[in-house]
Amino acid sequence: MNSYLTYHRRNLLAAALIFAVMTAGVTAHLGYLMIFRSEHYSRMADELHERERIIKAARGEILDRNGTVIAANRTVCTVSVVRSQITDTEEVVRALTAELGLSEEEVRPRVEKRSSREIIRTNVDKETGDRIRAYGLSGVKVDEDYRRYYPYGSLASRVLGFTGADNQGVIGLEVRYEDYLKGQDGRILTLTDAKGVELDHAAEDRIEPVAGNTLTLSLDVNIQKYAEQAAYRVMEQKGAKAVSVIVMDPRNGEIYAMVNAPEFDLNEPFASGADVSDKTEKERQEFFNQMWRNRCINDTYEPGSTFKIVTAAAGLEAGVVSLDDRFSCPGFRIVEDRKIRCHKVGGHGGETFLQGAMNSCNPVFIDVGQRLGVEKYYHYFERFGLLEKTGIDLPGEAATIMHKKEDMGPVELATVSFGQSFQITPVQLITTASSIVNGGNRVTPHFAVKAESKDGTAVREFKWPVRSGIVSEETSATMRYILEQVVAEGSGKRAKLEGWRIGGKTATSEKLPRSLKKYISSFLGFAPADDPQVIALITIDEPVGVYYGGTIAAPVIADIFENTLPYLGIKFGEAAD
């Protein structure tokens, strides 16, 4: 009996010891939580009784060089419900169905869903939001938000770009300068009881949003309009697939206009006019990606005879040719086993280098290319910046597609010398031409000028690289003279403009595959010819009928200059500022 009692006493003692140890452990842990982790759990408790709502920041406006607003914001509303705060479900369903134009089947499941906050609809116009707010329905929240708005619709659509449902930039300058434009959201914190109902007399904790910065561009709304009107006119007249125009200041790279006709409506970027309902999601995305492409920077093409500007400048700079050098054009050149024709089948006969440039004679430029040779020619490609991107402040710039030096034989050298068998972007061509005619400074084409806070405080003034010594001032002056003669008496005479001295170069390039017989007509012009302050390039893709650049492209640049030069206050013989 004693042994039995002793056994049970030992068991009880062991159990008591175990219980005491466990109690001590729990007490110690509780003390640790109360002393060392009290702030953490206090914060968690507060969060259970706090409800957070975001106050959207206004996106920064985008202005043209004259302060005209070209990207702004419209106030819209986000309508949501908090189930635990709704006192009359049927009334809420009826009101939201009527005001938002949704079916009861769409609204009721969201209203009855047990969640901290359920969004019913976003991008609701402010008038509708105000009407819903006036109902005074418990549990219904109407928060103001912003939606991007473009006052000029399709103007410069592929340059400006647009924003998505979250108001973040998708393409163009909107995405390039997202960090400057987006702003900083604010928030509202409200206290609730255990059921999630907001407490009437509890103070709100409010953090105000910070609006995005205002971005000022070099783009000019009026010049953009001039250029777009001219582009659409020639596109319609010639039944062309597309027309692109760039208008730029060759002295500093500021872009006044960039046209990609046909443009699209920035306020409805998915309204293509085409039926895409039968396409897969991937196919639809690819369709819109193509629609939104900026051909001036994203696409490359064979420049044709406008590239003779580069060959001429390289030849003059290297000293392998002068204005009075004599050439003979029988209508072709034989290079190895290839017969490369001039555009004039019967040939130009005997001519000087100046006359060859005015006539846009292929054999003359083949000869200049051969005099340079591959090594020197490649040296000038690199020196002029042709083998690198321009650095324009738009996303997706394409690089030059050029033969590798070791793969460039006599035939490739010949075809490159008059602008065939390689591809560049329009922005690369106009940038390189600018450096040749502006005295030899390689500028960086750009749009951004400055960023300011909402109250006008300076945030950043954008500076862009300039590389000097591309060509000598002497070569630059000679090139300006040559290109002025091209317009005065040569292939670009349809770009003549009474009262101004215009320089330029025409081009007609055949698209690949050449068997399709489709062309790109182009003209690059600048003014005043002796002191370039404006330079412009037009490309007309697949014109129907007459397709020569000197015939259909040169007059368009003359038309743009006729409006642009007086607008900018540029007069005949006027010196640069």
CATH assignment at residue 409: 3.40.710.10
Q: How confident is the model at residue 47 (pLDDT cuts 50, 70, 90)?
A: very low
Residues 436 and 482 in one domain: yes
pLDDT in tens, 469-493: 999 999 999 999 999 999 999 999 9
Residues 252 and 361 in one domain: yes
Residues 330 and 204 in one domain: no
**Residue that has been written with the tokens 């960039």 in this structure:** 258
Q: How confident is the model at residue 42 (pLDDT cuts 50, 70, 90)?
A: low
Tell me which H or E stretch contains 341: strand 338-341
Residues 149 and 267 in one domain: no
Task: From 405, 368, 415, select the one nearest 514 (Cα to Cα).
Answer: 415
Q: Give the Cα separation of 519 and 570 in Å (integer).
A: 34
* Chain centre to alpha carbon of residue 537: 18
Beta bridge partners of 424: 301
pLDDT in tens, 49-81: 455 667 788 999 999 999 999 999 998 888 999
Cβ(196)–Cβ(188) below 8 Å: no
Indicate the residue among 217, 247, 276 that finishes a domain: 217
Residues 502 and 411 in one domain: yes
Taking residues 228-256, what's their average pLDDT?
Answer: 98
Taking residues 538-547, what's their average pLDDT?
Answer: 97
12-21, 123-132, 262-271: which has the minimum mean pLDDT?
A: 12-21
Determine what percent of the chain is predicted with pLDDT higher than 70.
Answer: 90
Instruction: Judge whether 407 lies within some domain.
Output: yes
Find the largest Cα–Cα distance for the chain. 138
Q: Give the Cα separation of 328 and 359 in Å (integer).
A: 12
4-13, 329-338, 444-453: which has the minimum mean pLDDT?
A: 4-13
Q: Give the chain's mean pLDDT.
A: 90
Tell me how crowded residue 343 is: count the other CB atoms within 10 A of its CB.
Answer: 16
pLDDT at site 312:
98
Helix (H, G, I), strand (E, B) or coil at 394: coil
pLDDT at site 160:
98
Q: Give the Cα separation of 475 and 440 in Å (integer).
A: 8
Q: Give Cα separations from 459 to 64, 133, 209, 214, 449 (angstroms).
A: 17, 38, 18, 9, 11
377: CB partners within 8 A, 6+ apart: 314, 369, 408, 413, 416, 417
Task: From 250, 224, 217, 227, select the one nearest 576 (Cα to Cα).
Answer: 250
Number of domains forming the structure of the chain: 2
Task: From 575, 502, 498, select the one nearest 535 (Cα to Cα).
Answer: 502
Instruction: Judge whether 473 lies within some domain.
Output: yes
pLDDT at site 275:
76
Comparison of pLDDT for 338 and 46, the residue scoring more? 338
Residues 315 and 377 in one domain: yes
Strands 186-191 and 50-55, sheet pairing: antiparallel
Instruction: Judge whether 32 lies within some domain.
Output: no
Q: How confident is the model at residue 39 (pLDDT cuts 50, 70, 90)?
A: low
Tokens of 376: 């020197």
Q: Cα angle vertex 101, ends 98, 107, to 5°?
A: 75
Q: Give the Cα separation of 159 and 457 in Å (integer).
A: 26
Q: Give the Cα separation of 151 and 500 in Å (integer).
A: 34
Cβ(505)–Cβ(492) below 8 Å: yes
Residues 528 and 472 in one domain: yes
Question: Mind telling me the catalytic residues?
Answer: 305
Residues 146 and 291 in one domain: no
Q: Give the Cα separation of 303 and 311 in Å (integer).
A: 12
pLDDT at site 186:
86
Cβ(100)–Cβ(107) below 8 Å: yes
pLDDT at site 84:
83
Which residue range is the domain that position 486 belongs to?
Answer: 221-446+463-567
Indicate the residue among 217, 249, 267 that finishes a domain: 217
413: CB partners within 8 A, 6+ apart: 369, 370, 373, 374, 377
Q: How confident is the model at residue 10 (pLDDT cuts 50, 70, 90)?
A: confident
Residue 575 has pLDDT above 50, yes or no: no
Q: Give the Cα separation of 42 and 371 in Å (integer).
A: 83
pLDDT in tens, 173-208: 999 999 999 999 888 776 655 555 555 555 557 788
Contacts 24+ apart (CB under 8 A), 327-331: 327/351, 327/352, 327/353, 327/356, 327/361, 327/363, 327/364, 327/367, 328/363, 329/356, 329/359, 329/361, 329/363, 329/364, 330/363, 331/363
Instruction: Judge whether 132 lies within some domain.
Output: no
Taking residues 216-230, what's their average pLDDT?
Answer: 98
pLDDT at site 401:
96
Tell me which H or E stretch contains 271: none
Tell me how crowded residue 434 is: count the other CB atoms within 10 A of its CB.
Answer: 25
- 233 φ, ψ (degrees, to nearest 5): -65, -50
Instruction: Judge whether 502 lies within some domain.
Output: yes
Cβ(482)–Cβ(433) below 8 Å: no
pLDDT at site 43:
55
pLDDT at site 144:
83
- Find the CATH number of the domain harbouring 192: 3.90.1310.10
pLDDT at site 208:
86
Q: Give the Cα separation of 168 and 458 in Å (integer).
A: 23
Indicate the residue among 202, 217, 232 that finishes a domain: 217
Taking residues 146-154, what's their average pLDDT?
Answer: 94
Give the torsion through C-alpha atoms of 548, 549, 555, 559, to 10 deg. Answer: 140
pLDDT at site 340:
95
pLDDT in tens, 282-314: 988 899 999 999 999 999 999 999 999 999 999
Taking residues 258-278, what's their average pLDDT?
Answer: 89
Q: How confident is the model at residue 576 (pLDDT cuts 50, 70, 90)?
A: very low
Residues 189 and 312 in one domain: no
pLDDT at site 370:
97
329: CB partners within 8 A, 6+ apart: 342, 344, 347, 348, 349, 351, 356, 359, 361, 363, 364
Cβ(424)–Cβ(472) below 8 Å: no
Residue 123 has pLDDT above 70, yes or no: yes
Instruction: Judge whether 260 lies within some domain.
Output: yes
Instruction: Judge whether 108 lies within some domain.
Output: no
Residues 166 and 199 in one domain: yes
Residues 281 and 170 in one domain: no
pLDDT in tens, 461-470: 999 999 999 9
Task: From 248, 235, 249, 232, select the one nearest 159 (Cα to Cα).
Answer: 248
Taking residues 401-424, what's their average pLDDT?
Answer: 96
pLDDT at site 193:
55
pLDDT at site 574:
46
pLDDT at site 166:
81
Rounded to a whole number of angstroms, the distance between the first and last alpha carbons of the chain is: 120
Residue 459 has pLDDT above 50, yes or no: yes
Residues 234 and 291 in one domain: yes
Task: From 463, 409, 472, select the one nearest 436 (Cα to Cα).
Answer: 472
Task: From 517, 328, 332, 301, select the one nearest 421 (Cα to Cα).
Answer: 301
Dihedral over Cα of 308, 311, 314, 317: its sign: negative
Cβ(327)–Cβ(352) below 8 Å: yes
Instruction: Judge whether 249 lies within some domain.
Output: yes
Residue 572 has pLDDT above 70, yes or no: no
